[in-house]
Amino acid sequence: MNMKKWYENISENDFEKYITGKSSENPSEKTDYTFLSRIRNGAYKKTDTYSHFHFIFRTIPAIISVSLLFFIVTFIYQKISLVNNPVSISSINNQVYYVRENNTRLISSTTSIKKDDIIFTGKISECSLDLNERGIITINNETEIRIDSIETKTGHYKVAVEKGTATFQIHKKNNIPFYVNTPLLIIEVIGTQFEVNHKAPSLSTVTLTEGVLSITHKISRDIIRIHAGEVIKADLNGFITDSMIKIAEIPKTNIQNSPISEKSPFRKIIKNGSNEKNNAILGFIPYQNTIIAQSESHITMLDTNGSTIWKKIYGNTTGIRFMSLPVIFNNSLFISSTDKKFITLNMKNGNETSQIIMDGAILFGNTISVIESDVYLPLNKGIYLFNFQKKTVESKPFITITEPLSPIVSDNNFIITSIADKTIGLFSRDGKPQWKYQLSDRSVFKAILHENTIITTDLQGNMYKLDMSGKILIKTRMPFIITSQPVIENGVIYTTDENGTFYSIHPKDFSVIHSILIANNKRNAINQGVFTLLPESIAITDSLATIYIINKKDLSITKKLNTTLVSPVTKIHYFDNKLFAGSRNGDIEIMGIE
């Protein structure tokens, strides 16, 4: 037998005889004679030798077993800990609460979030959740989310945004989907970064920073896919856009979600932050390297990246409300309020330098005109002149005409149309009428000039061309009702109709060159004809959420931009290779144009 067998089978008494030489027994084979010789020669004591054999041949298996058991227990403990505490608090700002088993508790940095927990933040609080290897959720103020499902082993999560805004930075894990629900939407992602907002009772907005998202509408069951830099909104009726891309139309190989390497276009949201009820953005006025954003209650100067330089707030606290756009002249901003005040602001700091009472107010959408060094105010009773030296508005109208639109200038003359009188007239610079008559039975738009002729339109669908003597050269009944102020550029007239169609029209005979339906129903028609001209294209909004970039030549759509504005778009303006979009609640979004 071998050494091990001999050792394991020999009794302690026989072993005692062996090492004392009283026994001549030897293992029959594979014996370490050198070792045995050292035992016989007294190199080891009996107790040490026997203990040595015992430790080597009897305890090593036990040690191995204990070690394996330790590692197994540690591994299982870690897994159990990970399953029981899969979501931890990454950061917290001010008081944030969670609801568990109908009990509301304050969240601390050591709180572990579990399945079915509801987390909600206050007006000035926010927090971030660490999803271990699946990423981070940032919960903004006044937001409520619910953890519907946690499967740490597979990486499967379901999170519901009940109200407010949350940002998700989700990492890939074995191509396991990560789900985010709102009361209206089901969002499925493998790994990307996006923001989800739900505004009660029925408006959900998803903003995608990178990668691709698949979104299902719970009611309509429509499925769309959006890419980096895009935004989608939904209400009870479905997605608020006609740019829907069905998943079935997309090749399967393109549906995989993955981050993009190219830089996304510039985007920035400027929140109004006011409790005013009347906050709609009326328009934008460029000034040097800045832009003035005008709303019903405040005036803001922004740089081209959207940083606020100064902001002047009026509204309910002052009783002042605006319905017209300002004009800038001699480093001053002039604006008229609905309560007949003419206000001047310093362009450097926004401080008010004067406020005077006028004999009337400027109509909605109308503007003050600066012609050479004179400032003209289109008030209810006519055109009034602002006296710079006296800092007053003349008490009597410079030109008498009821509810005039802003004058345009041609050969040192004024061409003025009237909403109330439905008239058009030519006046000299001293205010004397050259000719004036009623053009239509309906209100007349502001005139535009083309090759020494005057072009205008009325709300009955008629377009007119007049010569400078007032003679009507062409009167054409268009097959649609124009709803926006026509604009002419490079010999082409652009305008919109009440059904959401955008037109290019030839000024020679008013024939339609091209047309494109921007909105396919009354619900998202171009209510205010909101469009702005770019160098090679035109940006136009459906007055809800989508901005369309269309080619000037054939009016084909080249790009669709979905804003993240939760309120309908009221005005857009192109400036410094960016689009400035203003909304009904006073928020502004700036979007870079590639």
| DSSP 3-state of 332 | strand
Buried b (16+ CB within 10 A) or exposed e, 239-249: bbbbbbeeeee
- Whether residues 164 and 247 fall in one domain: yes
- Whether residues 64 and 12 fall in one domain: yes
CA–CA separation, 527 and 525 (whole Å): 6
CA–CA separation, 165 and 161 (whole Å): 8
Alpha helix stretches (DSSP H) within 312-396 = none
Looking at the domain assignment, is residue 535 inside a domain?
no
CA–CA separation, 512 and 496 (whole Å): 12
- Number of domains present in the structure of the chain: 2
Looking at the domain assignment, is residue 546 inside a domain?
no
Asked whether the bond before 201 is cis by omega within 30 degrees of 0, the reply is yes
- Whether residues 144 and 174 fall in one domain: yes
Contact 148, 119 (CB under 8 A): no
- In tens, the pLDDT along 202-239 reads 888 888 887 788 888 888 777 777 877 788 888 888 88
Q: What is the pLDDT of residue 19?
A: 53
| DSSP 3-state of 80 | helix
Torsion of CA 94, 99, 105, 106, to 10 degrees: -10
Query: What average pLDDT does the structure give for the chain?
Result: 80
pLDDT over 50 at 249, yes or no: no
Which range marks the domain in which residue 107 is found?
Answer: 85-254
- Whether residues 136 and 30 fall in one domain: no
Contact 575, 259 (CB under 8 A): no
Domain CATH for 123: 2.60.120.1440
**CA triple 296-402-413, angle to 5 deg:** 95
The two structure tokens encoding residue 456:
């205008």
Among 81, 96, 121, give the residue marking a domain's end: 81
Looking at the domain assignment, is residue 451 inside a domain?
no
Element (H, E) at 61: helix 60-84
CA–CA separation, 329 and 314 (whole Å): 21
Buried b (16+ CB within 10 A) or exposed e, 6-31: bbeebeeeebeebbeeeeeeebeeee
Instruction: Tell me how far the alpha carbon of residue 127 is from its chain's centroid.
Output: 20
Residue % of the chain over a pLDDT of 70: 78
Q: What is the pLDDT of residue 221?
A: 74
Among 27, 47, 81, give the residue marking a domain's end: 81
- Whether residues 141 and 243 fall in one domain: yes
Looking at the domain assignment, is residue 200 inside a domain?
yes
Looking at the domain assignment, is residue 169 inside a domain?
yes
Contact 466, 440 (CB under 8 A): no
Per-residue pLDDT band at 351 (split at 50, 70, 90):
very high
- In tens, the pLDDT along 131-186 reads 877 888 999 999 999 998 887 666 678 899 999 999 998 888 877 888 999 988 99
Residue % of the chain over a pLDDT of 90: 27
Looking at the domain assignment, is residue 131 inside a domain?
yes
Element (H, E) at 48: helix 46-54
Nearest to 563 by CA among 216, 137, 258, 241: 241
Looking at the domain assignment, is residue 452 inside a domain?
no
pLDDT over 90 at 315, yes or no: no
- Whether residues 31 and 125 fall in one domain: no
- Whether residues 74 and 189 fall in one domain: no
- Whether residues 12 and 133 fall in one domain: no
Among 81, 103, 137, give the residue marking a domain's end: 81
CA–CA separation, 254 and 165 (whole Å): 28
- Whether residues 97 and 190 fall in one domain: yes
- Whether residues 124 and 238 fall in one domain: yes
CA–CA separation, 142 and 165 (whole Å): 8
Contact 179, 159 (CB under 8 A): yes
Instruction: Tell me how far the alpha carbon of residue 142 is from its chain's centroid.
Output: 17
Per-residue pLDDT band at 292 (split at 50, 70, 90):
very high
Looking at the domain assignment, is residue 222 inside a domain?
yes
Rg (CA), the chain: 39
